[in-house]
Structure 1
Amino acid sequence: MRWATYLAVTGAVVLVGLALGLSLPLVSLRLDGWGYGPFAIGVMAAMPAVGVLLGARLSGWLAGLCGTPRSLQLSLLLSAGSVAALALWPDYGLWLLLRLLLGISLTVVFVLGESWINQLAPEQWRGRLVALYGTGFALSQLCGPLLLSVLGSAGDQGFWLAAALLVVGILPLLGRDGAPQVGRHSLAGGGLLVFCRGQPAIAWAVVLFAAFDVLVLTLLPVYLLREGIEQASALRMLGAVVLGNAVLQLPLGLLADRLPRAALLRACGLVLLGASLGLPLALHSPLVWLLLPLLGASAGGLYTLALVLVGARYRDDALVRANAHIALLWGTGCLLGPLSTGAASQWLSGHGLPLLLAGGAALFLALAARRGAFELRGDSQ
């Protein structure tokens, strides 16, 4: 086990999480201050999802051409430039393009970074090491909104700090080895339908968490503001969701190395359903501070356990392809989540966000109830 390399890759992705935790809520709050409605904010939040769909198909090709470490470094540099440009050119149309570029570059980071981590992890430690990565990433996202609450959303300091963090993330990757070996012929995006047919519950778990993740960082603050919560409290409530994800992922990873992973996934789906349905009822009561961490923990558990199951099967080219499928599913969730929630919140119900999350959790439980739902059938290609 190359511990230094594992910590370096995890550290780089943690810095990405901190940058996202700063910049994503800032974009939404800035647009809300400019007078844009939930649907326009949802469109902006969905733009990185289009980039995810493109970046997933480029990741294997880029890793085969440049190698995994250099591909990660180049992608972090492009991400930093995209975030810095948000501060330089405050224009809705241009921000759509910049968010697209950010989605492309960060997808390469996540596909190759998570493949690298899973490649390094021995099977008996896989749940814990993947969960530790997830915990670090979630904690970094937690620190982002907290930093933003200190910096404020009126100025551009959040954008500049996020760009600097992405540049710093390049440094730990210098000189590291043990990355997946990807051939120059690799096309990481192929075979998504085969992957989904083989394991539909895992595929939907990824889509659901992706939608949840982008909704929490973009539309949850707007939802809370429109329900009468003050901005400072809304950011703290956002932090409570991310904290729940962060604190409970490592215990979940420990359990995943000892208990049936399918049962843990179903339990996460059930908790997510209950917390989502309870959020509108408890929004103005102390009970909300219990529901928010449970919401984050259960949604994050879906993704962590999906990565553990996929990493247990694939290596090298096949592992990068499988993670690219996950990235494509992630992009689908990021695209559908903000658009559907923004439209539902504006034209159907002000509580569209938690109600759609509850619907997604119910669909996951239905898929998870099928026999053999979590058996990884079919090739990744």
Structure 2
Amino acid sequence: MASVVRSTWPLLLGILLLMVGNGMQGTLLGIRGGIEGFPTFQMSVVMAAYFGGFLLGSLTVPRMIQSVGHVRVFAALGSLISSVLILYAAAPDWVVWAALRFVIGFSFCGVYITAESWLNASATNETRGRALSAYMIVQMLGIIVAQFLLNTGDPAGFLLFIIPSVLVSLSFTPILLSAQPAPAFETIKRMSFGRLYRASPLGCIGIFLMGGVFSALFGMSSVWGAERGMSVRDISVFVAAIYIGGLMLQFPIGWLSDRMDRRKLVLALSVFGTLVIVATVVMQPNIWWLTVVGALIGGVANPVYGLLLAYTNDYLDQSDMAAASAGLLFINGLGSMAGPLITGWLMGLIGPDGFWVYMGVLLAMLSTYAGWRMTRRRALSAQEQGNYAVVTPSATPLAVEAALDEAQSGSETPPAPAQG
């Protein structure tokens, strides 16, 4: 791992700064929206717009890169991000914010795709797995650091919007000045949704549901905290706990998934998440217990997404993985756009607990469907399964394709697609 970090540190440093900037703006908007007095549903539209922009970016940015090249796309989208981060504070209107969030979601997707293609090209077959792990860890660390930077200024002022703008601008320096040449880039062909569903019904339905959980959890946490009357410090601690839980539990759950029926693990985690949410709504815990809850739910949301990707991959030829990952991420994007909107509607209807009710219902639906699918298809042996890939729900198609390919090639005897 040390040798990988030494060879890719400019790129990893740039990604770290990018994620700090992105992590700050997401949480800060929820807090600032409460200060401006925006209704919950209006803020849910603002938060959903990011996922809409991200989805559009995943479909169109690869063609932009092919047309004008990595460097131009990277620089143009980076400039957009830096500008939007300042405009939030200059134009505190929810309609303007929604438009800006759409632009910033599109732009962040583009810079991630570009950075990930550089990382993928700079790694060898022997180091690609470690490089991807380092990349995912740096992403999570950046968002965690961002939450604590929120306590350095007044969310009603300009400073907390200036800091992420500066960090994003600085992030491009090590990336663009690195010695690595821009790699060749090929667009990813897509698999029909019908074929994808026939390969793995649980993968398709599960990833749609987890897209809703992820976007509600990571898009609406600060809105929920502001409506509940939590301080900036408490909101930042709660959101940081979500990412810390996701980071810590990825690897032990991944280890388990390579040694048992992945559907059982999906079922167990979704039932566990549902029970945690029910207990939270009933007990109304204080901030310290909420921190534990955040870590547990984050520890469920991130690994379950990777589990569903790995499970789907078990039923595909290696040549189909890229097309399937693009299709699954599109399904995830549709679920992600709906998440904040439905959460905001529920919070307006029943109060802050709507935040938890929505995620609890989705996790309960996932556990029910996973249990039913276990009666419809035989379990795979550990030898028939591919390896678990550490992938976050915010990963781009390029990162997912690379992670799945690395997981498949990391097996001593790559499995053939399972039948049944």
Q: After TM superposition, is the score higher than 0.5? A: yes
8 A contact 1:129–1:253 mirrored in 2 = no
Deviates more, 1:247-256 or 1:162-171: 247-256
Q: Deviations over 1:323-356 (max 9, x none)?
A: 5434423432331011001001112454111111
Deviates more, 1:275-284 or 1:257-266: 257-266
8 A contact 1:271–1:295 mirrored in 2 = no
Q: Deviations over 1:164-193 (max 9, x none)?
A: 2222332343343595x434xx46667455
8 A contact 1:12–1:170 mirrored in 2 = yes
Alignment counterpart, residue 150 of structure 1, candidates 124, 142, 152: 152
Deviation at residue 86 of structure 1 after TM alignment: 1.9
User: Relative contact order, CA 8 A, sep 6+: which one is greater?
Assistant: 1
TM-score by length of 1: 0.80
The match for 2:347 is 345
Distance 1:310-1:108 versus aligned 2 partners, 3 A rule:
farther
Deviates more, 1:96-105 or 1:319-328: 319-328
8 A contact 1:131–1:253 mirrored in 2 = no
Distance 1:79-1:305 versus aligned 2 partners, 3 A rule:
farther
8 A contact 2:16–2:138 mirrored in 1 = yes
What is the 5 A alignment of 1:10-89?
A: 10-67=12-69, 71-89=73-91
The match for 2:180 is 176
Write the letter of the residue equivalent to 2:180.
R
Deviation at residue 154 of structure 1 after TM alignment: 1.4
The match for 1:215 is 216
Distance in 2 of aligned mates of 1:192 and 1:7: 38
Distance 1:59-1:193 versus aligned 2 partners, 3 A rule:
farther
8 A contact 1:314–1:322 mirrored in 2 = no
The match for 1:244 is 245
Deviation at residue 289 of structure 1 after TM alignment: 3.5
Alignment counterpart, residue 331 of structure 2, candidates 298, 311, 329: 329
Q: Deviations over 1:251-294 (max 9, x none)?
A: 44555566665554444333322322222234324543432211
8 A contact 1:131–1:304 mirrored in 2 = no
Distance in 1 of aligned mates of 2:14 and 2:106: 17
- The residue matched to 1:170 in structure 2 has which SS? helix
8 A contact 2:203–2:312 mirrored in 1 = no
Write the letter of the residue equivalent to 2:248.
V
The match for 1:160 is 162
- The residue matched to 1:152 in structure 2 has which SS? coil
Deviation at residue 11 of structure 1 after TM alignment: 4.1
8 A contact 2:18–2:167 mirrored in 1 = yes
Distance 1:203-1:231 versus aligned 2 partners, 3 A rule:
same
The match for 1:361 is 363
Equivalent residues, number: 373
Distance in 2 of aligned mates of 1:362 and 1:176: 46
Distance in 1 of aligned mates of 2:120 and 2:264: 22
Alignment counterpart, residue 93 of structure 1, candidates 73, 92, 95: 95
Distance 1:178-1:95 versus aligned 2 partners, 3 A rule:
closer
- The residue matched to 1:99 in structure 2 has which SS? helix
The match for 2:403 is none
What is the 5 A alignment of 1:281-360?
A: 281-285=282-286, 287-306=289-308, 321-360=323-362
Write the letter of the residue equivalent to 1:46.
A
Distance in 1 of aligned mates of 2:312 and 2:127: 14
Distance 1:326-1:65 versus aligned 2 partners, 3 A rule:
farther
Distance in 1 of aligned mates of 2:119 and 2:273: 27
The match for 1:234 is 235
Distance in 2 of aligned mates of 1:111 and 1:311: 21
Distance 1:122-1:79 versus aligned 2 partners, 3 A rule:
same
8 A contact 2:188–2:322 mirrored in 1 = no
Write the letter of the residue equivalent to 1:331.
G
Distance in 2 of aligned mates of 1:277 and 1:129: 38
Distance 1:223-1:96 versus aligned 2 partners, 3 A rule:
closer
Write the letter of the residue equivalent to 1:78.
L
Deviates more, 1:223-232 or 1:254-263: 254-263
Deviation at residue 81 of structure 1 after TM alignment: 2.5
8 A contact 1:14–1:137 mirrored in 2 = yes
- The residue matched to 1:182 in structure 2 has which SS? coil
Structure 2 unaligned segments of length 5 or more: list them: 387-415
Distance in 2 of aligned mates of 1:151 and 1:278: 34
Q: Deviations over 1:125-156 (max 9, x none)?
A: 84x76554333222221221211122231112
Rg larger for = 2
Write the letter of the residue equivalent to 1:108.
G
Structure 1 unaligned segments of length 5 or more: list them: none
Distance in 2 of aligned mates of 1:62 and 1:117: 19
8 A contact 1:245–1:293 mirrored in 2 = yes
> Is residue 275 of structure 1 aligned with residue 276 of structure 2?
yes
Q: Deviations over 1:273-326 (max 9, x none)?
A: 23222222343245434322111111111234456668897989x766555434
Distance in 2 of aligned mates of 1:222 and 1:235: 12
Distance in 2 of aligned mates of 1:158 and 1:256: 40
